[in-house]
Chains A and B, each alone.
Chain A
Amino acid sequence: DQQVKQNSPSLSVQEGRISILNCDYTNSMFDYFLWYKKYPAEGPTFLISISSIKDKNEDGRFTVFLNKSAKHLSLHIVPSQPGDSAVYFCAAKTNNDMRFGAGTRLTVKP
């Protein structure tokens, strides 16, 4: 049962433009949401998170938006840079249970 879904396996954007990665979840018990960036054969690196009591969290070029009623969150990267190219995983937590989406491979073209 896939509780966290990232329906776009890949995304390609031009350098300097905005990247928008989407994530949906089904379990209403999730109350903390995270985005991780991953390179092959490495562990995921934490990027940004948001609590369910908020609808937006911003950190530099990265902003996460949460629409709790739609059980949807998104990660905006602006401006996108070639170094942002990686696989991005959405994760959702309740207590110590953390589940991941399937990931979206972002390619930022120079």
Chain B
Amino acid sequence: DTEVTQTPKHLVMGMTNKKSLKCEQHMGHRAMYWYKQKAKKPPELMFVYSYEKLSINESVPSRFSPECPNSSLLNLHLHALQPEDSALYLCASSLETGTNTEAFFGQGTRLTVV
């Protein structure tokens, strides 16, 4: 099982809404990532969790709030987003903190902020 599951697949939210993106994997991976991808651009790293602790925060605005409740789940809480935050949000996981491991991606959540 090399599956990373993201829900929902699509999300439309207003600028005053609060919503959450969810990511789940059951591969025993201990590193989990959030990336943001705009059209025709590479995925941009947002957050990395290692053993359920936040290890990298790429100066992401506080309107994005990550949470790792356990080793299988990763959430991204959204509040007061702007239209320019509309993008494909990708979750990934890799085995652990070692470097020689590939990361597996979910299908992404297509977020539209109106």
Contact = CB atoms under 8 A, between A and B. Distances in A.
Nearest to B31: A96
B75 to A, nearest CB: 17
B43 A97 contact: no
A42 B108 contact: yes
A96 B90 contact: no
Interface residues of B, number: 30
A51 B98 CA distance: 12
Nearest to B104: A46
B55 A96 contact: yes
A108 interface: no
A41 B89 CA distance: 10
A96 B41 contact: no
B105 A45 contact: yes
Contact of A34 (B102, B107, B108, B110): B102
A32 B95 CA distance: 14
A31 B7 CA distance: 32
Interface in B1-37: 4, 6, 31, 33, 35
A25 interface: no
B100 A51 contact: yes
Given A41-B110, A42-B108, A89-B43, A96 B48 contact: yes
B5 to A, nearest CB: 11
Interface of B: 4, 6, 31, 33, 35, 41-45, 48, 50, 55-56, 88, 90, 92, 94, 97, 99-108, 110
Interface of A: 4, 31-32, 34, 36, 41-46, 49, 51, 89, 91, 93-103
11 contacts: A31-B100, A32-B100, A43-B6, A44-B90, A51-B100, A89-B42, A93-B99, A95-B99, A96-B48, A98-B94, A100-B44
